[in-house]
Amino acid sequence: MSEKSREFWRWREYRYTMPDMDWHDTKVVTAGVDIGSVGSKAAVMLDGELYSYAAMRTGGESEETAIKVMNWALEETELKTENVPYVVGTGYGRVNVPFAKRTITEIACHARGAHYIYGPTVRTVLDIGGQDCKAIRCDEKGKVMSFLMNDKCAAGTGRGLEVFTDLIRVPIEELGKTSLDVEDEPPPVSNTCVIFAKAESLALLRQGRSKEKVAAAYHLAMVNRIIDLLIKVGIEKDFVVTGGVAKNTGIVSRLERKLGIRPLEPKLDPILAGAVGAALFAKALYEKEIGLR
Amino acid sequence: MITAGVDVGAKYAKIVLLEDAKNILANAKGIVGFDILKSATEVFQKALDNTSLKRDQIVHVVATGMGRKAIHMKPPINAGEIVPEVIADAKGAYHLIPTVKTVIDVGAEEGRGVKVGENGKVRDFVINERCAAGAGTFMETMARALEVGVEEMGPLALKSTKAIPMNAQCCVFAESEVVTLIHSKTSKEDISKAIHDAMAGRIASMVLRVGVEKDVALIGGVAQNPGFLPPLEKELNTEILVPEHPQYVGALGAALLALEMEAK
Amino acid sequence: MVETIKKFPTEQLKCWNEAKNLRKSYYENYLNAHEKGGVRWAGGAWSFSSIPAGLGEDVYSLTGEPYGATIAFFKDFTAKCHEATEAAGFPRTLCAYMRNYWGSILLDKYILADGKVIDEHPAPDFIWQDHICCSHGKWYQVARWLEEKKGKKVPMYCVDVSVGYPMDKPLEEYKINYIFQQLNDGVEWLEKVTGREYDDKLLCEAVWNEINATRLWADICTLNQAVPAPLDEKSMYSLYVMGTIMKHRPECVAFYEKLKAEVEDRVRRGIAAVANERFRVITDTQPPWGFLRIFREMEKYGVVSLGSLYTYGLIGMWKYRPDGTWATKDLPPRKPQTREEALRMIVEWTVDRPEWAHFYLPEAKTKMMLSIVKQWKVDAVLLHYNRGCEGLSVHIAENRHGLVEAGVPVFPFEGNMGDEREFDLLGTLARLTTFFESMGLKKLRE
Amino acid sequence: MICLRIELRLFVGSEKYKCGDFIFFSSNLYNVLGSAYLVEEIFQKFKDWIDNRHEYAKEWKERTNRKIIGYFCTYVPEEILYAADILHVRILGSHEPPTVTEPYIFAMFCHLCRDCLAQGLKGKFDYLDGIVEGQACLHLRQAFNAWRLHIPVDYAYYIYVPHSVQNPHATPYLAQELAKFKHSLEEWIGRKVTDSDLDRGIRTMNRNRELMRKIYEYRKLDNPKITGLEAMEMVLSSQMVDKEEHSKLVEQLLRELPNRKLNRNPGARLMIIGSEDDDRIFMQNVENLGATFVIDEHCTGSRYLWNNVSPSEDRLGAIAERYIERVPCPSKDWPEFTRVKHVVNLAQEFKAQGALVIQNKFCDPHGIEIPPLKEALKSIGVPIYPLEFDVTVPWGQFRTRVEAFLETLTGLEDLF
């Protein structure tokens, strides 16, 4: 594959099943399927504990993707979708999860998922998704108090990073690290439009700036936009970041530096927050259905 | 007399070798990397090789395009003059279509509208500001959202007759609309058409600022996209001419200007 | 290819520092008004500032637009202001001056002309505004709301002047009267909220000052018809501002008299603002204040901007002479003697302010700009599609039409007077130089 | 009667609506079909009027051969137009990206003014004899001027409605503006507009507003008898057709509505707040998510019909008073926030649980009031969620926000 046509933005898809858990001796098996604009995730839970999950790219056909990601999550578990009595769909494509009994927004699911992944002290959740960015305030139960979403600008989203990582030809998983490889922070790229931010970065590269410097400038601009959103919603500790971009140290560490608040360390893959939240709602809904609550 | 025009665009460098304003000896293009001079030189060499000409047989080189400064007075190309895109566009288009009054140039990152006066002079022009929705990169971003190759977009669009209004003020805003359409199971054909319509609308509204006078020519990379012409003609409700090799018109214009400068 | 041409002699303006000091002390006087037992009020640059003058010699004002522009000069502070207003939930599409101003209140910081930032935004004793643009009244209504949250109750009076503009005939009496009545009530209101006794003599003085100051400024702009131009737009910004902050004060009249004399002298001696002037342009609305270096870039092509409808007509008072030329408005027959006379005089003086006309009629702005093009020997017009000001960019696309149809080369560029995020310097410069080159201009040798 | 009947046939055409034109005269049909059917027919009729507004206007003109005037803003005194026997229709957009307006209006002005102009440039309103605007904002003024300059109309008039509606001199001043306007109209139509004409205009407008307000009362019920979409379509259509005709239908609706059973779960009680809003698809989408708009504050809704003219000897004075004292557009509402207070009252009267604020991008007067509005509604426990509307509405994005907002209002409590 030639340097040019390599797709640096294409992140690795993966699945995992907790080795030391067994679904045979559980009361409630539920699942949450989070069909995002870029990534789709499925989480299977046993009595409200994460058991098995998968994350893959959202294809052009979201219904198909939903089935794929669910099956993949169940692989190696001998479970079939029809063995999971209650599935909740969430994310951009939530209405296209054929086997979901109900849909709940990613806002509510991310708050609840964050509560599971990071614990009850979480008050502010930042979810940087494929094409939007959400700032959520929640209570000690993981219930949404208020939220804001960014206004149609990809400069603060995963898609923006994909476009950019392709430009400087660095695999997206390493992008954040690359951006931190600078002695001192350069000024941020001035353009908020993702296309122009790209053009501006290209110009910088052509002026002979290093990949690292340009990456830093791009990340900085992105962080500034995210912070605007956090300020609007009003940030309160504990603060956590969910979604794929949470793994980007270039974003997270800069957020920490600028806000002076250290985001909590995740106990689980934060990209699963939405799916996990959905699975937890599924549990509650199922228990209601069978009269357990 | 042989002159050369070099158009160093945001994405591609285009070269035209010209003999006496009549016959084009060669045209070549190549991707512009981080090192503009290097990329441009490679393409320039390619053009020379095709014609087995030497640099010193070319009396004058004029450069245009957003990367033009990088090769101004710099060996081996040694462009003696640099001119803005709109001037080269007008010149080149006028040479190919003497009746042309309006030139629309849609490149990777810029869309331009040029009013052409007598002898291919620029009367008035407009260039898209701050929004890339009227440029080739827009199409690429949309293609990725649709998970199809950018070259498939046009043909896809031509298969659809549906009109879905889409706001292309911002290409990312547009992208969320695209994703929404995907999730609501709209066919790729229809979405692709919506994207072309939106982009055509964007370009049209920009060109309308300077006004549209026949004949109208469409040049630049996007002119090669078959799905783009019909909606643009509809938006501007006029017939639009696309010269052969629309991508090279700027370079041709530069070569012609080189010739004029020598003549003086 | 670079060219060289013959240069005109240039000189630094003598009253430059005086202008700077007047501006500096203006913001300080407002800040320290209370120490001297004085009164301070806030309102727009267009408000009838000569009316509060009747409250005494120790009345100081802070006019919003110049203050908003001052903030815009200092990008870091601007950014903080915008962050604060957006965090408060205001859309980022609102008037940029207004957002700067509110930001200053929200941050509870006050910035001086030299960029020095002071803690605590000095709340006015009252607000005295006028309203022609959708944002004028709302601006101070919100400012007041924000002050109230800080526990300061600020009374507000706002005069509605949105009565229209007759292209060729004088304004009907009932319209004049509508504004007059509001001012008349306003005087009583001022007495009520300040508890001071109102002095009609001071009012008459102030009105007469304003009339003279705004005439003098028009005269000064007229001197720029000379080739080479004695003043360029960039330096005019530091001079016209006096009229936006203290048009009713004697210092303003005195300064403009001095300035007029100096500019006349420059014209006599052929002193140029830009040494290599060879292509004359004008602009229309406020510039992107954080990016005045565009003018320097223009000079590299031998291009000088003679000013704009904005710098000429924001406070300068003009009218059309029978021969169709655009010239300084005639002085009223005599200085006003009574309150009634003074109020009527200032209403009649103000209603046909050039920058108000085009709020209503695109034809009005086009006509004025064409007059400037002709009388000032202008080669091209730069139109600032100003995202930061609805009021002055209303109808701007129509003006572009009108100018182009009249055969005037026009360069439109998008920007924002007070929000740098909306101005793309590099892109604009690239397009601007393209424009000059399409006009056959080449960069000059340094 | 007969002519009305024919007219309705003429433009309703299709079999389906046959019974529509009997509504006014035939009660036996009502006995056969029952009121439920009738009510749905009436709402269908409002829809048709909106969908076929241009056909309606052309047909009206042909039938009456009277003049038609288009107006941009609800500050245009329709009473006077009615008195002059002119059909006055509101100019609204189409929600398609307005490509053609770029040469005439800078794109930082709101999509409404650009979309309106686009309709004119595309010839959709080619039946208009004239246009009138009552001063409100710069945006619509710009649409008015561009229209005046680039679209052939026989008559164009701009009324300088005062901005400072809270000041005592505004009413007498407007009365004089209206006298001037009336005079110019008379010259144009070639006849005097008499006092009895004015009385008729006032009566007709008052009646229509009053009837619609009575319909609004049914939105206060725990299970409203009318959805937000239906209410919007009722008011929108009233801005597009002959008032008499519209009133007849609303009167009919008023008689039938008490018996209506809406078999839908009302869900969350929402308020919708903003400037002009004719986005029916958005209303429908939101109400389909399990919510009902129980009240609006739009100039295409309650703001248009909330106040009446109190008749007096001085007709123009009375009309002027109505337009000065009506629920104001924020552009005129200073130094006090009277509209904000009005919104709070509405929210309480109609028991709204939450409010969606529709911010038409670039509409400064409305945008400026969002924070004060938010604070005021918060103080009575009504949360708001602002949505920025552009010429097209990205439902995919908005759906998530609206649904999440609804989830915070109701929905998920029992799942924690």
> What is the per-residue DSSP string for D40-65?
HHHHHHHHHHHHTHHHHHHHHHHHH-
Q: Which chains touch D (3 or more CB pairs under 8 A)?
A: A, B, C
pLDDT tens by residue, B122-167 = 999 998 865 555 677 778 878 877 888 888 999 999 999 988 887 6
Banded pLDDT at D5 (limits 50, 70, 90): very low
Going by their DSSP bridges, the two strands C117-119 and C109-111 should be labelled as antiparallel
Q: Residues A58, A107: one domain? A: yes
Task: With a cut of 50, say whether residue A81 has pLDDT above it.
Answer: yes
Banded pLDDT at D14 (limits 50, 70, 90): very low
Q: Which residues of D touch A144 (CB under 8 A)?
A: 404, 407-408
Q: How many domains in chain A?
A: 2
Closest CA of chain A from D416, distance in Å:
7
pLDDT of A158 reads: 81
Q: Residues A216, A165: one domain? A: yes
Among D280, D281, D282, D323, smallest CA distance to D303 is for D323
Q: Which residue of B has its CA nearest to D108?
A: B169
Choosing among 3.20.20.70, 3.30.420.40, 3.40.50.2300, 3.60.150.10, the CATH entry for B99-242 is 3.30.420.40
Among C300, C296, C272, C277, smallest CA distance to C446 is for C300
Among B131, B134, B87, B138, smallest CA distance to B111 is for B134
Closest CA of chain A from B182, distance in Å:
7
Please enumerate in sequence order all residues whose Cβ is within 8 A of that of D352, keeping only pairs 6 or more positions apart, or say none: D269, D270, D271, D294, D295, D346, D382
Report how far residue B99's alpha carbon sits from residue B217's, in angstroms, rounded to the nearest whole number.
10
Q: B114 with B122: CB under 8 angstroms?
A: yes
| Sign of the Cα pseudo-torsion (D313, D315, D317, D320, in order) | positive
Report how far residue A254's alpha carbon sits from residue B38's, in angstroms, rounded to the nearest whole number.
35
Q: Is residue A4 part of a domain?
A: no
Give the domain CATH number at A108: 3.30.420.40
Please enumerate in sequence order all residues whose Cβ is within 8 A of that of A242, keeping only pairs 6 or more positions apart, or say none: A110, A113, A114, A117, A125, A126, A127, A128, A270, A271, A273, A274
Among B133, B141, B134, smallest CA distance to B179 is for B141
Q: Which chains touch A (3 or more CB pairs under 8 A)?
A: B, C, D
* Least confident among C255-259, C367-371, C417-421, D343-347: C417-421
The single-letter code of the amino acid at D17 is Y
Q: D372 with D339: CB under 8 angstroms?
A: no
Task: With a cut of 80, say whether residue D155 has pLDDT above it.
Answer: yes
User: Under CATH, what is the fold of the domain B2-87+248-263?
Assistant: Nucleotidyltransferase; domain 5 (3.30.420)
Among C143, C182, C189, smallest CA distance to C162 is for C182
CB contact under 8 A, D412 and A152: no
Banded pLDDT at D12 (limits 50, 70, 90): very low
Q: How many CB atoms lie within 10 A of CB C366?
A: 21
Task: With a cut of 60, say whether residue B23 has pLDDT above it.
Answer: yes
Q: Residues A127, A248: one domain? A: yes
Q: What is the mean pLDDT of residues C413-428?
A: 85
Q: D106 with D99: CB under 8 angstroms?
A: no
Closest CA of chain D from A113, distance in Å:
12
Q: Which residue of A has its CA nearest to D402?
A: A105
Residue range(s) in chain B whose domain bears CATH number 3.30.420.40: 2-87+248-263, 99-242
Closest Cβ opposite residue A232 in set C87, C421, C424: C87
pLDDT of C432 reads: 93
CB contact under 8 A, B86 and C438: yes
> What count of CB pairs under 8 Å joins A to B?
71
Q: What is the mean pLDDT of residues D128-155?
A: 97
Q: B85 with B64: CB under 8 angstroms?
A: yes
Task: With a cut of 80, say whether residue D17 has pLDDT above it.
Answer: no
Q: Could you tell me the residue range of the domain that residue A279 belongs to?
A: 14-113+272-289
Q: Residues A107, A172: one domain? A: no
pLDDT of C272 reads: 97
Q: Residues A139, A88: one domain? A: no
Q: Which residue of B has its CA nearest to A205?
A: B34
pLDDT tens by residue, C120-178 = 999 999 999 999 999 999 999 999 999 999 999 999 999 999 999 888 788 999 999 99
pLDDT of A192 reads: 63
pLDDT of D6 reads: 35
Report how far residue A127's alpha carbon sits from residue A136's, in angstroms, rounded to the nearest whole number.
8
The ipTM of this complex is: 0.91
pLDDT of C336 reads: 98
pLDDT of A187 reads: 85
Q: Residues A137, A237: one domain? A: yes
Q: What is the mean pLDDT of residues D148-158?
A: 96
* Least confident among B29-38, B57-66, C437-446, D6-15: D6-15
The single-letter code of the amino acid at C391 is G
Q: D218 with D224: CB under 8 angstroms?
A: yes
The single-letter code of the amino acid at C341 is E
Task: With a cut of 90, say whether residue C330 has pLDDT above it.
Answer: yes
Q: What is the mean pLDDT of residues D291-319?
A: 97
pLDDT of B22 reads: 80
* Least confident among B241-245, D29-33, D164-168, D255-259: D29-33
Q: What is the mean pLDDT of residues C381-406?
A: 94
Kindly state the DSSP code that residue A263 receives in the 8-state scheme. Answer: P
pLDDT tens by residue, B215-250 = 999 999 899 999 999 999 999 989 999 999 999 999
Closest Cβ opposite residue D164 in set C89, C160, C361: C160
Q: Is residue A3 part of a domain?
A: no
pLDDT tens by residue, D362-399 = 999 999 999 999 999 999 999 999 999 988 787 877 89
Residues D316, D319, D323, D325: what is their CA dihedral angle, to the nearest 10 degrees? 110
Question: Which residues on neighbouring strands pair with residue D273, listed in sequence order?
Answer: D297, D357
pLDDT of A193 reads: 66
Q: What is the mean pLDDT of chain C?
A: 94
Q: Residues A177, A126: one domain? A: yes
Q: C368 with C325: CB under 8 angstroms?
A: no
Q: What is the mean pLDDT of residues B114-120?
A: 94
Q: Which residues of D touch B111 (CB under 8 A)?
A: none
Percent of chain B with pLDDT over 90: 60
CB contact under 8 A, D371 and C141: no
Q: Is residue A87 part of a domain?
A: yes
Task: With a cut of 90, say whether residue D336 has pLDDT above it.
Answer: yes
pLDDT of A124 reads: 97
Q: What is the mean pLDDT of chain D?
A: 91
Residue B131 forms contact with A (CB below 8 Å): yes
Q: What is the mean pLDDT of residues A205-228?
A: 89
Q: How many CB atoms lie within 10 A of CB D17?
A: 17
Percent of chain D with pLDDT over 90: 83
Q: Which helix (H) or strand (E) holds C435?
A: helix C425-438
pLDDT of A293 reads: 76
Q: Is residue A6 part of a domain?
A: no
Q: Which helix (H) or strand (E) holds C242?
A: helix C233-246
Q: Residues A127, A198: one domain? A: yes
Banded pLDDT at B60 (limits 50, 70, 90): very high
Q: What is the mean pLDDT of residues C300-316?
A: 96
Please report which residue ranges of chain B form alpha helices under DSSP H.
36-51, 85-96, 136-146, 150-158, 171-183, 188-210, 229-235, 249-263
Kindly state the DSSP code that residue C10 receives in the 8-state scheme. Answer: B
Q: How many degrees, rounded to 5, is the angle at CA B180 between CA B177 and CA B184?
A: 140
Q: Residues A221, A136: one domain? A: yes
CB contact under 8 A, B34 and A154: no
* Least confident among A68-82, A190-204, C344-358: A190-204
Report how far residue A40's alpha carbon sits from residue A272's, in angstroms, rounded to the nearest whole number.
9
Q: Residues A257, A276: one domain? A: no
Q: What is the mean pLDDT of residues C90-113?
A: 95
CB contact under 8 A, C424 and A191: yes
Task: Give the helix, strand, coil percentages of chain A, each rounded to 5.
Answer: 45, 20, 35
Q: Residues A236, A285: one domain? A: no
Q: Which residue of A has its CA nearest to C85?
A: A232
Q: Which of residues 31-60 of B touch A (CB under 8 A)?
A: 31, 34-36
Among D304, D301, D369, smallest CA distance to D341 is for D369
Task: With a cut of 70, say whether residue D48 has pLDDT above it.
Answer: yes
Q: C294 with C244: CB under 8 angstroms?
A: no
Closest CA of chain D from A285, distance in Å:
7
Q: Residues A255, A133: one domain? A: yes
pLDDT of D37 reads: 77
- Of the two residues C312 and C357, the one the predictor is more confident about is C312
* Token pair recorded at residue C381: 């017009």
